[in-house]
């Protein structure tokens, strides 16, 4: 673990976000195991929300799959690790309302809660499995007025 990863781990313990992630993991009856870079992997999450294959609370990454599948997707794990770092920068739980504001902004601007969400863009849209309008425009630009947003 690098000093930065250790610092993130300590920050997310002190700011309570990792504790919230562990509480959620326990309430959802997931199995938690150590992951890379100070992360904790909570696998077989089965609650309906959020509508995502994986999400992060503090240093806890919750996956709908089993731990083997979760560990075999380093691209998605790296995306979720960046969210863990965002929790630390936001001093923990303030990340959640800030994230939802960014998601609402993105939904309003693009019709998708991730495409213009600053947190998802910083974590890597494609790594998180989200569409990136700047990549899929086909060269006409994302603000072309005749573009169909379907």
Interface residues toward Zn ion, by CB under 5 A: 120, 123, 128
The residue whose Cβ lies closest to Zn ion is 128
- Nearest partner of 62 among 126, 75, 49, judged by Cα: 49
Name the residue nearer to Zn ion (CB basis): 38 or 113.
Answer: 113
Half-sphere exposure of 1 (CA within 13 A, CB side): 15
CA distance 88 to 10: 9
Name the residue nearer to Zn ion (CB basis): 81 or 120.
Answer: 120
Name the residue nearer to Zn ion (CB basis): 30 or 81.
Answer: 81
Residue 33 per-residue DSSP state: E
Considering the complex, what minimum distance in angstroms separates the CB of residue 136 from Zn ion? 18
Helix (H, G, I), strand (E, B) or coil at 86: helix
Considering the complex, what minimum distance in angstroms separates the CB of residue 140 from Zn ion? 27
Considering the complex, what minimum distance in angstroms separates the CB of residue 128 from Zn ion? 4
């Amino acid at each position: 673990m690098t000093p930065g990863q250790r610092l993130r781990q300590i920050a997310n313990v002190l700011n309570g976000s990792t504790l919230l992630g562990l509480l959620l993991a326990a309430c959802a009856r997931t199995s938690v195991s150590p992951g890379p870079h100070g992360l904790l992997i909570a696998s077989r999450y089965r609650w309906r929300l959020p509508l995502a294959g994986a999400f992060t609370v503090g240093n806890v990454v919750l996956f709908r799959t089993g731990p083997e599948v979760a560990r075999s997707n380093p691209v998605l794990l790296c995306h979720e690790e960046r969210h863990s770092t965002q929790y630390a920068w936001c001093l923990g739980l303030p990340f959640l309302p800030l994230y939802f504001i960014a998601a609402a902004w993105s939904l309003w601007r693009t019709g998708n809660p991730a495409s213009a969400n600053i947190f998802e863009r910083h974590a890597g849209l494609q790594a998180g499995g989200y569409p990136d309008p700047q990549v899929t425009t086909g060269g006409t630009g994302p603000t072309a007025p005749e573009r169909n947003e379907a």
